[in-house]
Amino acid sequence: MPKNRRVTIADVAARVGMTNITVSRALNRPEMVKAETRSKIEAAASELGYVPNAFARGLKHSESRLIGFVTASVDNPFYAEMIKAVSRHAKQHNYAILLFDTDGEAWLEANAIETLLSYQAAGIILSPISDEPDYRPDYIDRLHNSDVAVVQLDRTLYNADFSSVVLDNVWAGQCVAAHLLNRVFAETRVSAEAPARLLIAAGPEQSIISRERLAGVQTTLAETDRGVAVDVLWGDYTLEPARDDVGAYIETYGMPGAIFGMNQLITLGALQAMKAHGIAPDTLSVISIDRLPYLDIFDIRVPCVVHDGFHAGQRALELLLERIADPELPQQTITVRGELIE
């Protein structure tokens, strides 16, 4: 069977002996058409297998029902959760999602934005590859000059004036420190000679997120007279460097009083290093940001500050829809607080 030529509004019109415009109206503004004509048209349309051409429609209105989601890692479970939330709420408002995985590459991110502009995307949810001050991609101006709504999610471009939904990183750091002071460093007293040591396995040194989390820890520690010394290992949010650096640290300085991993992968890396050095997870206090899934099944307790990705994604989409509806709205930042789970 040769594939039928695509059926258009005109084919439907011909079938019922009317003109294009009547068919168009019957399908989009049913109230403007006599009920009888309408049902004839609807019948013909479904019989012929008519599918509206989104391109023609988009060209006409010069607006589209597309929302872009740009992220560095679809396979990060936290992002997967956010994508799910965005996708679910987008389709309730009749938007479809164009997904771009930038794989941490600046040029792919730039391409993604370019493509979204060419599809006249109504909005973009952007989680850029980096929040460091020296990452200032050219597309920022393009976005400001166009009329796409933009909401940054989780990560934000340094100093770019877009709305955003971010985690309360300072607070997460404070939570972590408070928990450690309560549970681990409870007996610690000021002691300049042999202070208790907290090892922090962080993300990149220039990452705002890492710095905020660190700042949170430090302010809370500073509020007490417990003499906790903080050692920071900068990394890149992935497992391997965390594992290697924590391993090296343990070899050089011995076991710290506690380890704080700034995200899931970092913490797993730290745990791996501990295992390699024969340290059981319950001997040394480990605390994390992001949940380490399913460990409770095996009675391994790593307390963590958990952020609700689904909620964050949903808020981002809400913000985006508001901006699409009213582009003149001032930029907003929404902060999502995590919760300490023991």
Quickly count: other Cβ atoms within 10 Å of residue 111's Cβ: 15
Name the residue nearer to DNA (CB basis): 62 or 92: 62
Using CB under 7 A as the binding rule, the residues of this chain from 59 to 118 that contact DNA are 59-62
Q: Is 3 in the site for DNA (CB under 7 A)?
A: no
What does 80 bind: its own copies, DNA, none (CB cut-off 5 to 8 Å by kind)?
Answer: its own copies
Using CB under 8 A as the binding rule, the residues of this chain from 37 to 96 that contact its own copies are 49, 51-56, 58-59, 62, 64, 69, 73-75, 77, 80-81, 83-84, 87-88, 91, 96
Report how far residue 151's alpha carbon sits from residue 59's, in angstroms, rounded to the nearest whole number. Answer: 25
Q: Quote the crossing angle between the two packed helices 9-16 and 35-48, to the nearest 10°.
A: 120
Cβ 70 vs Cβ 41: under 8 Å: no
Indicate the DSSP class of residue 168. Answer: -
What does 9 bind: DNA, its own copies, none (CB cut-off 5 to 8 Å by kind)?
Answer: DNA
Helix, strand or coil for residue 30? helix
Using CB under 7 A as the binding rule, the residues of this chain from 19 to 58 that contact DNA are 19-22, 24-25, 27-28, 32-35, 37-38, 52-53, 56-57
Listing from the earlier edge strand, what are the strands of the sheet with 304-306? Answer: 228-233, 196-201, 258-261, 285-289, 304-306, 339-341
Cβ 261 vs Cβ 246: under 8 Å: no
**Closest of 314, 305, 78 to residue 171, by C-alpha:** 305
Q: Is 166 in the site for its own copies (CB under 8 A)?
A: no
Token digits of residue 195:
């202070």
Q: Kindly list the residues in this chain that would bind DNA in the complex (CB under 7 A).
A: 6, 8-10, 18-22, 24-25, 27-28, 32-35, 37-38, 52-53, 56-57, 59-62
Q: Kindly list the residues in this chain that would bind its own copies in the complex (CB under 8 A).
A: 3-4, 6, 49, 51-56, 58-59, 62, 64, 69, 73-75, 77, 80-81, 83-84, 87-88, 91, 96-101, 103, 108, 111, 114-115, 117-120, 142, 145-147, 268, 271-272, 275, 281, 292-295, 297-300, 327
